[in-house]
């Protein structure tokens, strides 16, 4: 996926520089907390660890802390850029460790080219960490450093550049050979690239069953053969063959497998044609492969292919390896990551790919079905099952091979891993991946706004939506050029010159003629881009509308309510936020954006719409109707209103898990509900919180984000007949992308999903109609 220079710099720059921070795991709000966290209380764990060093894993974070160590001599495709310049990569590694396996990381950039100094540094740091991940250190230094550390340290040491690629391509190899019907002991394998990854992968393949004599290793000098002097080292010498072959083209003729860890365009179509039937091609040069997927398929329809790219099938991404390998190693206090553990990781990934893929994973990637085959050799990185399968396999291998200091019960351990993952991934990505399955046309009235342009660029790049930008074309092009944003695949419509303008004017007049709008006034109103955009959605020229970053909420929503209108059967639109806490808990809060003082009947509609929204995020709603009292403890009109809403809700939808009125703290505490209110249906606590008025909902939502560290998605406008979403003026580019994805999914489902029906006695009223 293409990312512009400015996009990358902006991502790393703000709102806080860098990608990681430290979050305390214990409270430090009172004097007592302070005395526990530091002196004098901290002396007790110090003395305990002095008496028993293994207690460091009990009283400190060492057991879940990994050092990512680099000297920046082989950074991605950038080469030797130095320790400091490599820091963004190491921080990125920390993000992946945390995101995928909940492993904490300190990145350590070492300003030296001397391998012995890196060895000494890691040895001195052993009391601090539970493991060492070596990163972006050039060959052959990386081999020497890892070998020395593995011999002298009692914690896991792992060079991901070597072993990560080996483990993941090993899984792809096992499955590709099975599909091709080939025996691993008989296949001939050609490697192009004899650096850290190439040599380690070749060694791993030997352990998987490939015969060493059936491997041909190539580098920039050609085939590595016996007797060659130029560019050799002891690690290459292990694969030197007694052969007349001298070029990559020679080596690939008749080969069963090609593994590329080299450079773009190193392989031609003629080379692929020369390979054996059902050739296996792993072209993993970064960012561009040795041969593209399209070129390889064009010349060999029977090719089984993997690359390092996201836009082709079978992406080999090291994030499928290192987070989960360390997770398993740390959780059994392994003293090393040995070959048995690496082989276990490979086989776990290979076996998981053959399992039935859950619908939730397919939805996450925007496809109807993922099934083991030539285009699905290895699991997807965001498949939550990878954590359970790979980490548990690594832990089991550590126990069987004798390097585990704290063995675990595997069934209990798998349950523990599931709890680590939580719901955060599903919430953050469900809508985006659903949108990618069938992108829709989304109109953006603020088409010349910087954040809108940047967000639309991301929507196109990630194939989430097909943006329509409203505004002066020259101004939009000029602004896009300033931002370095490509307008390719975006449609620009100027309301002043559009060939649909007169049609919209007449239809607007028809819609509003009995609400005081004359034909002349309709001709003026159509110049308002929110009006024009709403007409596009109304007339079917756009599927959804997203607006609001430069306007007040009423100015955005009013035209939509007047033109697009509410869904049949509803009397109010409402707004909800999805809040994901730092613990990965998911809550839906409403109404936080529209109805200032909702009635009991309004609360029923709000609750039903919000519950429906939770289901669309694949979450079973448990609805708490909130107040400042619980189950009649206070007699006040607000409490009475909420109690009435609960009665109406249970009548409107008897299947809905709902209760109240109840205070927020009690609604979120399963223990309190079980002990004090055993009659309540909110077993397990609530995840949908319906507030008695807009003030309380809006304040709570924003406090959760600012003080509580929650991540808000929204506001999500509910109840419109066609998708309309109103942005906050403070919305970030990422938030705009998220709201647009929701709008696309709204459009996809607009004619298919079952909308909530409300059976309450109220007079029809359109909010903001005039």
**Residue 394: in which H helix or E strand, if any?**
helix 392-401
| Closest by CA position to 485, among listed 462, 455, 510, 509 | 455
Cite the DSSP H helix spans in 14-158. Answer: 31-37, 43-51, 56-59, 87-101, 115-124, 141-152
The residue among 552 and 207 whose pLDDT is bigger is 207
pLDDT in tens, 27-45: 888 898 899 999 999 999 9
What per-residue confidence (pLDDT) applies to 310? 81
Q: What pLDDT band is residue 753 in, cutting at 50, 70 and 90?
A: very low
Q: How far apart are CA 330 and CA 63, in angstroms?
A: 6
| Closest by CA position to 282, among listed 542, 266, 234, 70 | 266
Locate tokens 């309450």: which residue? 760
The answer to which of 131-145, 340-354, 361-375 has the lowest mean pLDDT is 361-375
What per-residue confidence (pLDDT) applies to 323? 96
pLDDT in tens, 619-656: 899 999 999 998 888 889 999 999 999 999 998 999 99
| Closest by CA position to 122, among listed 135, 107, 132 | 132
What per-residue confidence (pLDDT) applies to 46? 95
Residue 748 vs residues 75, 134, 235, 391, 499: alpha-carbon distances, Å: 42, 45, 55, 37, 27
Question: pTM value?
Answer: 0.65
Active site residue 93: yes
What per-residue confidence (pLDDT) applies to 1? 57
What per-residue confidence (pLDDT) applies to 252? 97
Q: What pLDDT band is residue 286 in, cutting at 50, 70 and 90?
A: confident
Look at the chain and count its residues.
770
State how beta strands 711-718 and 574-580 pair.
antiparallel
Q: What pLDDT band is residue 95 in, cutting at 50, 70 and 90?
A: very high
What per-residue confidence (pLDDT) applies to 770? 33
Are 178 and 378 spatial neighbours (Cβ–Cβ below 8 Å)? no
Find the catalytic residue in 93, 423, 451, 641: 93
Q: What pLDDT band is residue 25 in, cutting at 50, 70 and 90?
A: confident
Q: How far apart are CA 98 and CA 104, in angstroms?
A: 6
Locate tokens 């959804």: which residue? 544
| Closest by CA position to 581, among listed 737, 705, 697 | 705
Active site residue 38: yes
- Which backbone phi and psi does 469 adopt, to 5 degrees? -100, 125
Q: What is the mean pLDDT of residues 54-80?
A: 93
pLDDT of 358 over the 80 cut: no
Average predicted confidence (pLDDT) for the chain: 90
What per-residue confidence (pLDDT) applies to 617? 82
pLDDT in tens, 227-276: 999 999 999 999 999 999 999 999 999 999 999 999 999 999 999 999 99
Task: Name residues whose C-beta falls within 8 Å of residue 367's C-beta, 6 or more positions apart in sequence.
Answer: 437
Give bridge partners of residue 588 from the DSSP assignment: 578, 688
pLDDT of 57 over the 60 cut: yes
Cite the DSSP H helix spans in 564-618. Answer: 600-616
pLDDT in tens, 112-166: 999 999 999 999 999 999 999 999 999 889 999 999 999 999 999 999 999 999 9
What per-residue confidence (pLDDT) applies to 764? 32
| Closest by CA position to 573, among listed 759, 715, 751, 752 | 715
Find the catalytic residue in 11, 13, 38, 753: 38
């Amino acid at each position: 996926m293409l990312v512009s220079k400015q996009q990358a710099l902006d991502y790393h720059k703000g709102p806080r520089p860098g990608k990681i921070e430290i979050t305390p795991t214990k409270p430090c709000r009172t004097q007592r907390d302070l005395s526990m966290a530091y002196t004098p209380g901290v002396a007790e764990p110090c003395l305990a660890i002095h008496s028993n060093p293994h207690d460091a894993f009990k009283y400190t974070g060492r057991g879940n802390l990994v050092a990512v160590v680099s000297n920046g001599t082989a950074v991605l495709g950038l080469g030797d850029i130095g320790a400091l310049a490599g820091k963004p990569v190491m921080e990125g590694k920390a993000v992946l460790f945390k995101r995928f396996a909940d492993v904490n990381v300190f990145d350590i950039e070492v300003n030296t080219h001397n391998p012995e100094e890196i060895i000494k540094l890691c040895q001195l740091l052993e009391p601090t960490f539970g493991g060492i991940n070596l990163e972006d250190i050039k060959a052959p230094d990386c081999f020497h450093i890892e070998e020395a550390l593995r011999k002298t340290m009692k914690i896991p040491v792992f060079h991901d550049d070597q072993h990560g690629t080996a483990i993941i391509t090993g899984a792809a190899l096992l499955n590709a050979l099975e599909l091709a019907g080939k025996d691993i002991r008989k296949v001939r394998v050609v490697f192009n690239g004899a650096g850290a990854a190439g040599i380690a992968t070749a060694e791993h393949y030997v352990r998987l069953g490939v015969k060493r004599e059936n491997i041909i290793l190539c580098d920039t000098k050609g085939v590595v053969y016996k007797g060659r002097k130029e560019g050799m080292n002891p690690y290459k010498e292990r694969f030197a063959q007694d052969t007349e072959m001298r070029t990559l083209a020679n080596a690939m003729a008749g080969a069963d497998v090609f593994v590329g860890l080299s450079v773009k365009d190193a392989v031609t179509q003629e080379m692929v044609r020369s390979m054996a039937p059902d050739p296996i091609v792993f072209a993993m040069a970064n960012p561009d492969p040795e041969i593209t997927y399209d070129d390889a398929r064009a010349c060999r329809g029977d090719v089984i292919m993997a690359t390092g790219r996201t836009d082709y099938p079978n992406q080999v991404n090291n994030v499928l390896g290192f987070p989960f390998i360390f997770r398993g190693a740390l959780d059994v206090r392994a003293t090393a990551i040995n070959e048995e553990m690496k082989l276990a990781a490979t086989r776990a990934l290979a076996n998981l790919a053959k399992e039935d893929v859950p619908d939730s994973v397919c939805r996450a990637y925007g496809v109807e079905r993922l099934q083991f085959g030539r285009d699905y050799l290895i699991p997807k990185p965001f498949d939550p099952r990878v954590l359970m399968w790979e980490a548990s396999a690594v832990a089991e291998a550590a126990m069987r091979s004798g390097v585990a200091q704290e063995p675990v019960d595997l069934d209990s351990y798998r349950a523990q891993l599931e709890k680590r993952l939580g719901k955060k991934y599903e919430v953050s990505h469900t809508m985006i991946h659903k949108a990618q399955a069938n992108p829709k046309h989304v109109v953006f009235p603020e088409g010349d706004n910087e954040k809108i342009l940047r967000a639309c660029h991301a929507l196109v790049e990630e194939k989430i939506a097909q943006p329509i930008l409203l505004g002066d074309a020259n101004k939009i092009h000029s602004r896009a050029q300033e931002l370095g944003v490509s307008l390719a695949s975006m449609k620009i419509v100027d309301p002043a010159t559009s060939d649909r303008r007169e049609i919209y004017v007449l239809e607007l007049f028809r819609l509003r003629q009995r609400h005081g709008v004359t034909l002349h006034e309709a001709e003026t109103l159509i110049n308002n881009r929110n009006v024009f955009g709403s007409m596009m959605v109304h007339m079917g020229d756009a599927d959804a509308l997203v607006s609001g970053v430069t306007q007040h909420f009423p100015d955005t929503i009013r035209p939509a309510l007047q033109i697009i209108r509410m869904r049949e059967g509803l009397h109010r639109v409402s707004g909800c936020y999805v809040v994901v806490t730092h613990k990965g808990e998911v809550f839906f809060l409403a109404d936080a954006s529209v109805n200032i003082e909702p009635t009991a009947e309004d609360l029923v509609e709000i609750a039903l719409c919000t519950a429906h929204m939770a289901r669309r995020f694949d979450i079973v709603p448990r609805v708490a109707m909130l107040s400042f009292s619980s189950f009649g403890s206070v007699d006040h009109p607000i409490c009475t209103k909420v109690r009435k809403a609960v009665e109406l809700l249970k009548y409107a939808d008897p299947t809905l898990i709902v209760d109240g009125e109840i205070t927020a703290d009690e609604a979120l505490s399963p223990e309190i509900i079980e002990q004090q209110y055993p009659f309540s249906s909110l077993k397990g606590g609530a995840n949908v919180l319906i507030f008695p008025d807009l003030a309380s909902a809006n304040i709570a939502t924003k406090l959760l984000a600012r003080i509580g560290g929650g991540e808000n998605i929204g506001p999500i406008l509910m109840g419109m007949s066609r998708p309309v979403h109103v942005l906050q003026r403070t919305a970030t580019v990422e938030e705009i992308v998220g709201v647009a994805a929701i709008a696309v999914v709204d459009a996809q489902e607009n004619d298919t999903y079952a909308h909530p029906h409300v059976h309450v006695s109220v007079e029809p009223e359109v909010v903001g109609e005039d």
